[in-house]
């Protein structure tokens, strides 16, 4: 519906002065990807241009709230932080009514420097599992899947150590060779989110369960990574008890 699209354009204009300039210069071209009518485009440019900047601190307030979820990444992302509201991630997310926290993570991952991308992925995963529903529908009989309040990542080795150092106000060491598997999990009952390194085989198993997988397939995968036949079933049972799989 065009009035909803118009509202989203207005939200974007309140945060991105560059979009305001583009719309006043050529509204048809600037709004080519938005389902707004010619009349609605005329309404936008009939508004005094200064009206879009009557609250100049609005973008800074919104960005500060979002950055509370990216304290480590923000310290190494440099100028990438300040360009969020002009980014394709911001504009796409407002159009699609997605998560601004996740959009910021995608944007920060594009910062120059080796640390920004893995830290942005890690903190985006933390933000995602923190917001996940408290309960998820069970997997079909005979199958298991990764619960929405859990996430598994493979990041460059040293990412978790750098994340921990930055969150404690310390200078991080560089990344090492290879990768590390990380499990991000929201813990009951207080909802604390923890991050821990997991063995390569367990990370592979959890990745396989990101989309619903038959329990037998997961047992085979566990054995391929070194689990004994009887141990494979116990590993899956433990992950279900810990609410990692469901």
Give residue 138's pLDDT.
84
User: Per DSSP, what are the bridge partners of residue 101?
Assistant: none
For residue 64, what pLDDT band results from cuts at 50, 70 and 90?
very high
Q: pLDDT digit string (tens) for 124-137?
A: 999 999 999 887 88
- pLDDT, tens digit (0-9, with 9 covering 90-100), for 38-53: 999 999 999 999 999 9
Residue 85, pLDDT above cutoff 80: yes
For 2, 3, 113, the CA distances from 39, given in Å and listed in that order, are 11, 11, 45
Give yes or no for a contact between 165 and 105, defined as CB atoms under 8 angstroms apart. no
Report pLDDT digits (tens) over 100-151. Answer: 999 999 999 999 888 999 999 999 999 999 999 887 888 999 999 999 999 9
pLDDT for residue 2 is more than 80: no
Q: What structural domains and CATH numbers belong to the chain?
A: 2-128 (no CATH), 133-241 (3.90.930)
């Amino acid at each position: 519906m065009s009035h909803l699209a118009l509202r989203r354009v207005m939200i974007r204009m309140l945060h991105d002065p560059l979009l305001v300039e583009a719309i006043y210069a050529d509204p048809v071209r600037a709004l080519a990807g938005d389902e707004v009518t010619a009349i609605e485009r005329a309404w936008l440019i009939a508004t005094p241009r200064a009206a879009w900047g009557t609250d100049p601190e609005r973008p800074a307030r919104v960005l500060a709230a979002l950055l509370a979820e990216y304290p480590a990444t923000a310290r190494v992302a440099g100028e990438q932080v300040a360009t969020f509201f002009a980014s394709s991630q911001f504009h796409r997310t407002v159009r699609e009514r997605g998560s601004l926290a996740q959009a910021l993570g995608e944007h920060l991952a594009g910062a120059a420097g080796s640390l920004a991308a893995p830290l942005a992925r890690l903190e985006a995963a933390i933000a995602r599992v923190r917001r996940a529903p408290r309960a998820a529908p069970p997997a079909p009989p005979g199958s298991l899947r990764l619960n929405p309040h859990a996430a598994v990542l493979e990041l460059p080795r040293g990412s978790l150590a750098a994340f921990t150092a930055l969150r404690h106000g310390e200078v991080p060491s560089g990344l090492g060779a290879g990768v590390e598997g990380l499990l991000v999990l929201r813990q009951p009952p207080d909802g604390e989110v923890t991050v821990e390194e997991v063995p390569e085989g367990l990370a592979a198993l959890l990745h396989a369960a990101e989309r619903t997988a038959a329990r037998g397939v997961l047992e085979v995968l566990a054995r391929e990574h070194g689990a004994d036949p009887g141990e494979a079933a116990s590993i899956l049972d433990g992950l279900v008890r810990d609410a990692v799989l469901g």
